[in-house]
Structures are given as C-alpha cells and as structure tokens.
Amino acid sequence: MTDPPFVVLLVAPDDSDRRLIGALIDAGGCELHPVDGLESALAAIEERPHDVVLLEGGLASEETVRQLLDEDPRAQVIVFGDPSNAEQVHAVRELGAVDHLPKATLDAATLQRAIRYAADHRRSVERLQHDALHDALTGLPNRTLFLDRLQQSLRRSRRRGADSGAAVLFLDLDRFKVVNDSLGHLVGDQLLQSVALRLDAALRPGDTVARIGGDEFTVLLEDVTDAREATVVAERVLATLADPLHVAGRELHVSGSIGIALGGPDVDPHELIRDADVAMYRAKAQGKARHSVFDIDMHRHVLARLDLETELRRAIEAETLQVVFQPIMRTTGSDITAFEALCRWDVAPQEFVAVAEETGLIVPLGRFMLREAARRAVEWDACVCVNISARQLADHGFTRMVEEVLAESGARPANLRLEVTESTMSHDLEGALHTLADLRARVGVGTYLDDFGTGASSLSLLRRFPGDALKIDHGLVIAMLTDPGSNAIVKAIVGLAHNLGMEVVGEGVETAEHLEGLRLLGCELAQGFHLSLPLTAEDAARLLIPQAGRRAGPGGAPEAGVLG
C-alpha cells in the first residue's frame, strides 16, 4: 500500500513566501496548507495533524515554537528563512524545532529532502507510539493515550476561556466476569471487541473512546461542560449496548454502568478520571445499567471509605476489635445451647463489614473471629457460632484454616458452628455446599443456615444443605404475631426443618409474645433482645454459671460439653 502524501502546514505572513514555498513543494507530492499567522496555525493543527510545520523565520520566536509544540507535541517544526539572529535559531532548535533552512540557498530538492526526512521520522515514531498507546485487543486508545488526549483537550479549553472544559465517561460492563468464566476468555475477548465497535459508533466525531483495562472503557467528550449534554451521550451508549451482541454463535446481552465527571480548563486530568470512576461505582450500586454524575459528596464518601479501610486494617492487625456473644436459648426454658459471636467496633457493623467485603479484609477479619470463637468455646466448653462471608467460603484454603484454628485452640469441632446465608453461597453454590459438607463430615464442624425466609429462599437448597439448624429471619418472627401469612410460613419452615432432621432457631425475639409464639409453633430455639443483648465474654461466662450448676454431675462437677 502506498503511503499517503505528506501533509505540510506552511506558516508565513508574506504572500510571496507562500508562493515561493508552494512552487518549490509542488513537485514533491505534498499536501500544502498555507496560513498567515500563529492563531491560524494553531487552529489548523487542532483540526487535523500535520506531518511537518514550515515556520517562516520572522515568526520563529521561542514562544511561537512552544505554542505549536504544546498544541501538537509531535510536530516537526522546520524554520525557513532567517530569524532575527543566530542565537534565536539555536534557541528554537533547543526548544524542539528539527531543522533550519536559510531562504537564500533554499531550492526544491533541499526543501523536499528536509520535509521527507522530518515527516518519515514523525510517521515512524507514530507507528511505534501507536502500538504502545493502543489496546492490542480492541485497537482503541489505551489509558496512556487517553490521558494524553485529555490533557491536550484541557489545554485547548484554557485557550477558549474559563467557560470551556471537558467531560469524561467511565464505563464498566455489568457481569462481564460471568461471560468470561462461563464461556471462556476467547468469547470474552470477542465480546470486548464487539463492545468497542459499538462504543466507537455511538460517539460524536472528535470524541475519544479508550479501553483502559479489563472490561473498563473511558470516553472523552471534547468541549462539554453541561451535564445534560454528557448524559445524552451516556444514554446513547447504554442504548447501544442494550441491543444483543452475536458472539461465537451465541446471542449475548450486556449492559454497562457509567460514571460522568465534568471539569473546567484547570482541572487535574487524573482527578477527572478518578471522579468519573467514583461516579461509575455509584451507578453500579444504584442498580447497574445506568449512569451517575459525579458530585463532591461522592469524593468525600470515597475518602471516608479509604480512611475507614485503613483504620479497620490496623484494628484487625492489632486485634483491638471487640467480640460480643449473644445467647441462643431453648424456648421451653432458660437453657443456653450456643452463642453467636458478633464483631463490634466504633463503626456500625453493616458499614465496616461492607468495607471488609469490598477490600478483602473480610478474610483476616473472619480468621480473627474464628480464633476468638474457638478460644471461648474452649474456655466455656460451649458451642460458639461464627458468621462466614462469601469471600471466605470461596477461599480454597478455608477448610485448612478452620482446621488450624481448631488445632491451635484445642476446641472440639462440635463446639464450633458456622453461620451462612443463602446469598453467601449463591456466588458458587456447588463449591459452597462441597466445602460445608467436607467440614461437617471430615472435620466435624456443623453449619446453621442463617436468615432463612428472606428473598427467594430455595427449598431445593434446603434439601441439599449439610447443616444442623435453620435460623428463621427476624422479619418473619416479628411479623408472625400480626400477619397470618407470616405465621403460616414460620410454622411451615419449622415442620420442614424437623422433617429434614434440623433444629430451628427463631431470630429477632423482642417480646415474650414472640417467644411464646415460636414455642407454640414447635420452634425449639430462640435468639433476640428479649432473651439477652449481645454480651461481653466476661458477662457471657457469668451467664453460664447457673446453668453449669444445674447440670453438674455427681460430686458437683459440670458435665463435659453441656452446650454442644
């Protein structure tokens, strides 16, 4: 394939110079764009790239060359004619001009040779830079090139004035990992290529779409400062993605979450991308397949989360978190059958647990809770339950870690129970069931199915669940006194669990009426504030003293494992 002709920008105020260069360059097969000054030159460079800029010597000041290179850092500036003095020639060469051609000795061969050398150099560099600055899979600009174009866009905005600026869209595909994991990376790659084509077709001329990693894309909207204009583009992108994609003989449906950030000419480009990323996570949290515009409150929230993560990490490492224990009691008396270990800190549990899940700190936090539970199980010879997260259950080393905790503490496996929810297991149901069954059969550690009765509780899961007990969600327990439907559901759950050989724990027992209602329905175990608030380890131990005395064997010594 023949290379396209060199594109030359001629900057010369004098018409005679423009005619001279035009005549010398005419036979060289170049495409010449003459302008008469710096302002016109900058506008021409903004409109399209040029292989070479021929700058008349009278205009060749350091400031002029600097502005040309600011507009296009790869510009090959050749000065022709004579600047005011030799020092000026040296200065502009030092600044980045690539050649100087005295007008007195200038002929067609010299000019064309200089243009060809400079243009060939630029195109060779551009080919290398293209490979370094573009994503190999999709051919789109990568993160480095996107940042460069954003910086150039903001420089142009500064010339246009304080009311100018740019917008960045940050797109993350929803549930792309499911496609990648289920259909393989080859199909995942083809899907990304198809998405890239869709995105490119949905944008305005002059806008930039880049793939910055994985399933993340960014879009630069040039000279956009109105959020409404940016959201129109975002909605067009989402609409484009809504149509099914045909990849590897399959019809695939994808969606995306988009964050939008707008900035004026003086905004830091890194911060603009960061803000769009933050807004994208807000859109994803609001339900996916939508867009969200960044505001300063989002940034404050992110900083607060980072601070919370740092403090939580320190608290886990220093083991300064508090563990409290809420008793699980029989509904037919005051006997305690187990305790649930709960983590407490200076921050609400739902807040710091969410941060722990998001950052992976849930793994060391979970290890800390298991060790503390096992330690108290040995100290009290009592059964202690610990909540387990999806991240822990998915960890291939989880079973080994439980075994190590038991060995270190000396706790009996029967005195340690794991509490899981159906949503915890939903990420990898088969793997979770296998892990729990292995822990029960080989290690001797049992499991409670927590929060049963919320969401789409599955009866088929219940049939396969390798557990010892169901814990009925507190919402059903509270509602069963006033709602006949909830009462009927609780009764059905109790009967079903008993038929499967499992005990039942009613959570959220806040009144004597709740406790009596559970007892009448045949639920043998209960937990809630009416029975006891979560207790410190010392208070929990004191609560056990009367029970140990009642069940003391001959000679006054308590029987082993009375709470197991």
CB 343 within 8 Å of CB 349: yes
Q: Please tell me the predicted confidence (pLDDT) of residue 163.
A: 81
pLDDT for position 31:
87
List, for residues 188-216, the tens digit of each pLDDT value. Answer: 999 999 999 999 998 988 899 999 999 99
Helix (H, G, I), strand (E, B) or coil at 85: coil
Angle value at C-alpha 502, between 500 and 505, nearest 5 degrees: 135
Q: Is the pLDDT of residue 560 over 80?
A: no
Which candidate, 441, 333, 439, 446, places its Cα nearest to that of 383? 446
Alpha-carbon span 99 to 351, nearest angstrom:
63
pLDDT band at 550 (very low <50, low <70, confident <90, very high): low
The arithmetic mean of pLDDT across residues 459-482, rounded, is 89
Centre a 10 Å sphere on the Cβ of residue 35 and count the other Cβ atoms it contains. Answer: 19
The boundaries of every CATH 3.30.70.270 domain in the chain are 143-294
Helix pair angle (86-95, 62-71), 10° resolution: 20
Which CATH number among 3.40.640.10, 3.30.530.20, 3.30.70.270, 2.70.98.70 corresponds to the domain 143-294? Answer: 3.30.70.270
pLDDT of residue 176: 87
Bridge partners of residue 385, in order along the sequence: 340, 417
For the segment 381-415, what is each residue's pLDDT rounded down to a tens digit? 999 999 999 888 888 889 999 999 999 999 999 99
H/E run at residue 215 = none
* The CATH number of the domain covering residues in 7-132: 3.40.50.2300
The per-residue pLDDT for range 106-149, each reduced to its tens digit, is 888 888 888 888 988 888 888 888 889 999 999 999 999 999 99
Q: For 521-541, what is each residue's pLDDT tens digit? A: 999 999 999 999 999 999 999
| Residue in this structure with the two tokens 């009765």, named with its chain if needed | 453
8 Å CB contact between 216 and 171: yes
- Position 551 scores a pLDDT of 60
Domain with CATH 3.40.50.2300 in the chain: 7-132
CB 205 within 8 A of CB 268: no
Whether 244 and 179 have beta carbons less than 8 Å apart is answered as: no
User: What whole-number distance in Å separates Cα of residue 160 and Cα of residue 540?
Assistant: 70
- Whether the per-residue pLDDT at 262 is higher than 60: the answer is yes
Q: Which two tokens stand for residue 115?
A: 């243009």
Is pLDDT above 50 for 234? yes
The better pLDDT of the pair 218, 119 is held by 218
Kindly report, as residue ranges, where domains of CATH 3.20.20.450 are found in the chain. Answer: 308-544
pLDDT above 70 coverage of the chain, percent: 95
What is the separation of C-alpha 249 from the centre of its chain, rounded to a whole number of angstroms?
30
Rounded to an integer, the average pLDDT of 238-243 is 92
Q: What's residue 83's pLDDT? A: 64
Q: What is the helix (H) or strand (E) element at residue 171, kind and residue range?
A: strand 166-174
Nearest to 449 by CA among 430, 435, 439, 436: 436
DSSP 3-state of 323? strand
More confident residue, 325 or 456: 325
Superfamily of domain 308-544: EAL domain (3.20.20.450)
Q: What is the pLDDT of residues 349-371, one digit of tens each?
A: 888 998 898 888 999 999 999 99
For residue 556, what pLDDT is reported? 45
Evaluate if residue 270 carries a pLDDT over 80: yes
557: pLDDT strictly greater than 60? no
Say if residue 449's pLDDT is above 90. yes
- Burial label, 546 (beta-carbon count in 10 A; 0-12, 13-18, 19+): exposed
Strand 216-222 and strand 208-213: the pairing is antiparallel
The pLDDT tens digits of the residues spanning 30-44 come to 889 999 999 999 999
**Pairing of the two strands 99-101 and 250-252:** unpaired
